Structure 1
Amino acid sequence: MSDPRPILWTPTKERAEQSRMAAFQRWLKSEKGLEFEDYNALWMWSVSDLDGFWTAIRDYFDLPFSGGSGVVLAERKMPGAEWFPGVRTNFARQMLRSAETRPDEVALIVQSETFGRCELTWAELAHRVASVATHLRAMGVGQGDRVVAVLPNTETATIAFLACASIGAIWSLCAPDMGHVAILDRFRQIEPKVLIAQDGYVHAGKLVDRRAALDTIRAGLDTLEHTVLIPVAGGLGDDVTAWSNLTDTKAELSFADLPFDHPLWIVYSSGTTGNPKPIVHGHGGILLEGAKQSLHQDLKAGDRFSWLTSSGWIMWNVQFVALGQGATVFLFDGAANHPDMLEVWRCVARERLTNFGVGAAFVTLCVKAGIRPRDELDLSTLKALGTTGSPLTADGYEWVYDAIDPDIWLAPISGGTDLCGAFVGGNPMLPVRAGEMQCRYLGNAVRSFDPEGNEIIGEVGELVCTEPLPSMPLYFWGDTDGSRLFESYFDIYPGIWRHGDWIEITPEGGSVIYGRSDATINRKGLRLGSSEIYRAVESLPEVFDSLVVDLEFLGRDSFMPLFVVPAPGVELDDDLKAKINTAIREAVSPRFIPNDIIEIKEVPRTLSGKKLEVPVKKLLLGGDPAKVVNRDSMANPESFEFFITYAAQRT
């Protein structure tokens, strides 16, 4: 087993006791007679007594559930678990509770390159949601109808989604920078009735005109009956409705009384290969998961929360964790590096944020840029920083404590679009160790399995979840027999969710994510996540970015090429190659020195910034270039041309 990693931060006794996690434990003791010696004991109870735990979450957060027979879990199985049968609820009701108790306090703050800065109070947010819901009903939108949107991360998307949820319509959102083919691949599957879109946006100071793409999208959606438009690049056509016409009608806020498992939204897999999976989540399950997440993120009314996200990433959805607890949510819409890498941190300081989250790749860019926000900005209100999207390296941890605040609570999380939540992440009552996530989330029966399905501790294995979760997909849209859902998660370990990540559970109860298990490197029986290679290679100032794949051929030795993007002005010569090999040898193992090091201009990435290791691997193993990746789901599709040429040369 690995030695414990060094502790970088420990909460004071006062801070730990003031956390929501501590308050929840005190409530469990006083109301349920339950007391636990430590967090691991609390976690074990939460994944053993599913009825007791999820009932406690419902009761502690006073979630808007009504009816039902008192049954929590009709059948304890995966897939097919049925939660809270007979219960009625509505997600939007919880999100807008503060409009009744704190109407004049700020609910949303928006900083947009396109529109500037604005604020909405809880009363104003509720008014606009009620108005938009009234207009959607007038368009014939009812329970179960799909409303889709191509919008950035501004108040428009938030209002439109809550309006849909309030009437029981099903929401689905794509970011405006996504290609029209990728958008149609998603929206065609779910046959929407209404499209809400913005015809352009400003990014890095430049106007991006999306009118032609929107015309193509509208033409490709046969079921579309209405289009609502926010004009930026042009004017309004005769066949569209202006968004501004929907937002200022005096209307009473009301909420449809919906079954617990009524569909809330449809989100999608990354779509890098094959048709994107339209994942359906339910009102009740997402309410429970979001409430529980607020314990792990230490969120409460009065906090000021933001996650640096595009509207096409699942972290857009996670912003409702904060809104549902009455926190003020700050929405950032623009280029994170414009005019420089300090811009986002200026927003954090100016808006006095208490909880902030970013992709781990953003931290890496900050490290590369050499910025130290604490030297130039007042970040004294910031108590918690989260990261996700990819594993945060130990160097990233060190940068946060050096360049942001030595007393900040750094709480990386790892989960997925699939369950709209995290498997592992933070706990404000526990110490932070370098390169490690603090705990397994309550209610999430996360284990590490070896290939035979045995649980392992202190070793890298498959991330699995051995008990059902309320926020697991209800189904995939159009997957009538459930076969696609089964093949996605349950075909390796029957009855157990296999997520597709490599994870190490430490003896102390922490965890380390090593990357996608299907991108794992296997050198003569020693397995390694690619993130460890990246940690070694990208620590060199001469290397800007990298991608590694392990090509295993039946009956032949594996071939592991390393593709490198040198830093500006740097040449990939023999000296740099030797330096890279030395870094891998010293930081990882001589077994993982690559067979070849090749210079590239860009690493292929998804729209959410993840490296496309698996499609590159499939291509280099002989896959059809037209089938291994969906170019419209890539942030930089032109980068794939190099690998097509390289694959042809190898063949």
Structure 2
Amino acid sequence: MSGSWTPDQQTVDDANLTRFIAWLSETGRGEFADYHSLWTASVGDLDWFWDAVWHYFEIQASTPPTAALASADMPGAQWFPGATLNYVTQIFRHATEDRPAMVVAGEDGSTEWSWARLRAETAAFAAYLRSVGVVPGDRVVGYLPNIGEAVVAFLGAASVGATWAVCNQDLAVGGVVARLGQLEPKVLVASDGSVYAGKRRGRRAELAEIRSQLPTLVATVLVPRLGEPEDGVTPWAEVLSRGADADLDVEPLPFDHPLWVLFSSGTTGTPKGIVHGHGGVLLEHVKYLSLQLNLKPEDRFLWQSSTSWMMWNLLVSGLLVGSTIVPYDGSPTFGHTGYLWELVADHRVTVVGAGAGYWLACAKEELTPGTDHPLESLRAVGSTGSPLPASGFRWLQEGIGRPVPVFSMSGGTDVVTAFIGGTPLVPVRAGELNAICLGVAAEAWGDGGRPVTEEAGELVVTKPMPSMPVFFWNDPDGEKYQGAYFDKYPGVWCHGDWITVTERNSVVVHGRSDATLNRGGVRMGSAEIYNAVEGMPEIQDCLVVGVELDDGGYWMPLFVACADGVDFGDDLRARIVEAVRTGASPRHVPDDVIAVPGIPRTMTGKRLEIPIKRILLGAKPSDVLTPSAVDRPELLAEFEEHART
């Protein structure tokens, strides 16, 4: 199969976006013939578009807004002034006895959570928070795997107006404290461990150390994932019993009241705390999940993620449109690489997403999930984290055994959504993201600071989005926020990605612009090299950097980690070079191909291109990286050795 996909008429007719376009017509808001005309209108008049989203999704506010967009300044846009609302209100509008709210899955089994159970536990936890003195603006934090109680803790905190933040338990204690400690939290919710890759991983010692370094805590609540007791904490069961008769009392809050704090990768220095507001997240997520990803109330939505990754937040927001979400606590390759496909089949998942690396791992093993499992329910596949090459699109359709749309998305923790994603109204071409999202004024800018098409440029956003950060934590004058996005082009968000916008208004993502290769004055995306090499079954992972030398030269090595049992030699090196030459271009061929034991990544799976480049230029790893932000920090010594030799 080609990996490309074109919607048939039934898909178009049944799409949520088709209903939205019809509603715009019926309410006299405009006539639109296709996606691109609607997108053009959505970025041409943000006030009109987001007011339409507000009314179409019937956002419930305790007090109404006086406008949709009072100021379009960036940073500092003023959205829906005067409105008071709460993200949680929109969640429980969809409560029903017809479908579960969640199917909480793990390597040791799964449990269906009814909407009634989710509401009752959320109400009980909210009542507990109020009983220990939590008020709007306080911080409630989690040290939790991807379990149902993590969702409850977040919703309970949000309902009382507390700000939420969470770290997954694979993050080292130092990394947890570096993140959560900034917030001076009042309550910590933790589990006693997790189950991952067949192992029960207790976290009692780590939890004790974390608690000792969070002096502002007034309470710790313990969720018994492994059933290990802990002194000095409130058991989750006690929280539920205390609040067994509690009603869910949801606090009305200003539109931009902090909902959660997400953190930058923290590869250099203290991780930045990125604060998002209730209203901005609510509007952006109902738009993205319903109008772009086409999630419906009858859908089951699984995105393989840890709680530390923004995709967990987007997964939880599946509840905003009434879908059943499927949080999964465990390894996607538990027992075998294709385990995630078992979950899709067992739980009748209709929309599944994962990082591009997982789909490529399945492709390398030439898995046939459509033959091995009943996947009749599956309607769409999502991919993010890194660019998915065209070969990945092709394998997904071949592996599933029928054409399905592959919606690759590109966004980030910064906006906790996508700038560029999918839509069921537009064909998908393998290797491309098929649409810039509605309401997102994204462009590729060339060297002159002007938009370009059919050539690579900086990803910029020229107008505000509701889910842009409200502020950064501990950044009172906004200097860090300004420096993160607006220094290069004042008043324009520069995201740091290197993209091409095609004449069809689809997008190709080439990688991070600060890691762009510049050989002989020609800039190239690292993604083209990864796409060519990652499909080779002998290669487990790879990383390419461009290093400017003191003599004015330029060295572009490609580091490769071989799959288990593969010996690296001249023959494999030659085949890698040929794969790059034919799969990308002769200009992309690296100066050296170097075998290493492994490629270190951030805890959310991103390549460390810039830190590795700086190490190769002579910097110490401790000067360019925070070890707790790296999945395998011991691998950095290998690159330090290459810097010496």
- Higher mean displacement: 224-233 or 89-98: 224-233
Q: 1:290·1:320 contact (CA, 8 Å) conserved in 2?
A: no
Residue 625, structure 1, aligned to residue 621, structure 2: yes
The 1:340/1:7 distance shift into structure 2, 3 A limit, reads closer
Q: 1:104·1:122 contact (CA, 8 Å) conserved in 2?
A: no
Superposed counterparts of 1:259-298, under 5 Å: 259-293=254-288, 294-298=290-294
Correspondence for 2:611: 615
Superposed counterparts of 1:24-423, under 5 Å: 24-68=20-64, 70-99=66-95, 102-103=96-97, 105-113=99-107, 116-232=109-225, 235-248=228-241, 249-293=244-288, 294-423=290-419
Residue 559, structure 1, aligned to residue 555, structure 2: yes
Deviation at 1:582, TM superposition (A): 1.8
Amino acid at match of 1:49: D
The 1:233/1:120 distance shift into structure 2, 3 A limit, reads closer
Amino acid at match of 1:259: P
> In structure 2, how many angstroms separate the alpha carbons of the residues matched to 1:7 and 1:32?
38
Deviation at 1:604, TM superposition (A): 0.7
User: Identity of paired residues, percent?
Assistant: 45
Q: Give the secondary-structure state (helix, strand or coil) at the position aligned to 1:339.
A: coil
> In structure 2, how many angstroms separate the alpha carbons of the residues matched to 1:427 and 1:147?
35
How many pairs were matched up? Answer: 642
Amino acid at match of 1:344: L
Q: 1:7·1:431 contact (CA, 8 Å) conserved in 2?
A: no
> In structure 2, how many angstroms separate the alpha carbons of the residues matched to 1:63 and 1:161?
20
> In structure 1, how many angstroms separate the alpha carbons of the residues matched to 2:193 and 2:368?
33
Deviation at 1:431, TM superposition (A): 0.8
Q: Give the secondary-structure state (helix, strand or coil) at the position aligned to 1:432.
A: coil
> In structure 2, how many angstroms separate the alpha carbons of the residues matched to 1:380 and 1:510?
28
> In structure 2, how many angstroms separate the alpha carbons of the residues matched to 1:494 and 1:416?
21
Q: Give the secondary-structure state (helix, strand or coil) at the position aligned to 2:116.
A: helix
Deviation at 1:374, TM superposition (A): 0.6
> In structure 2, how many angstroms separate the alpha carbons of the residues matched to 1:561 and 1:588?
16
Q: 1:146·1:192 contact (CA, 8 Å) conserved in 2?
A: yes
> Once the two structures are superposed, what CA deviation does each residue of 1:603-628 show, in whole Å capped at 9, x if it has no partner?
11111111111110111122232121
> In structure 2, how many angstroms separate the alpha carbons of the residues matched to 1:237 and 1:577?
53
Q: 1:211·1:233 contact (CA, 8 Å) conserved in 2?
A: no
Amino acid at match of 2:190: A
Stretches of structure 1 that go unaligned for 5 or more consecutive residues are none
> In structure 1, how many angstroms separate the alpha carbons of the residues matched to 2:282 and 2:259?
10
Structure 1 length-normalised TM: 0.96
Correspondence for 2:6: 10
Q: 2:195·2:329 contact (CA, 8 Å) conserved in 1?
A: no
Q: Give the secondary-structure state (helix, strand or coil) at the position aligned to 1:28.
A: helix
Deviation at 1:592, TM superposition (A): 2.2
Q: 1:210·1:233 contact (CA, 8 Å) conserved in 2?
A: no
User: How much is the aligned-residue C-alpha RMSD, in angstroms?
Assistant: 1.5
Q: Give the secondary-structure state (helix, strand or coil) at the position aligned to 1:545.
A: strand
Q: 1:604·1:639 contact (CA, 8 Å) conserved in 2?
A: yes
Deviation at 1:489, TM superposition (A): 0.4
Deviation at 1:554, TM superposition (A): 5.8
The 1:230/1:11 distance shift into structure 2, 3 A limit, reads same
> In structure 1, how many angstroms separate the alpha carbons of the residues matched to 2:347 and 2:82?
43
Q: Give the secondary-structure state (helix, strand or coil) at the position aligned to 1:137.
A: helix
> In structure 2, how many angstroms separate the alpha carbons of the residues matched to 1:419 and 1:436?
21
- Higher mean displacement: 337-346 or 282-291: 337-346
The 1:35/1:47 distance shift into structure 2, 3 A limit, reads same
> In structure 2, how many angstroms separate the alpha carbons of the residues matched to 1:263 and 1:571?
52
Q: 2:371·2:401 contact (CA, 8 Å) conserved in 1?
A: no
> In structure 2, how many angstroms separate the alpha carbons of the residues matched to 1:390 and 1:256?
38
Q: 2:140·2:157 contact (CA, 8 Å) conserved in 1?
A: yes
> In structure 2, how many angstroms separate the alpha carbons of the residues matched to 1:76 and 1:510?
26
Q: 1:131·1:251 contact (CA, 8 Å) conserved in 2?
A: yes
Correspondence for 1:517: 513
Amino acid at match of 1:283: H
The 1:514/1:189 distance shift into structure 2, 3 A limit, reads same
Structure 2 length-normalised TM: 0.97
Stretches of structure 2 that go unaligned for 5 or more consecutive residues are none
Deviation at 1:106, TM superposition (A): 0.7
> In structure 2, how many angstroms separate the alpha carbons of the residues matched to 1:553 and 1:32?
62
Q: 1:546·1:603 contact (CA, 8 Å) conserved in 2?
A: yes
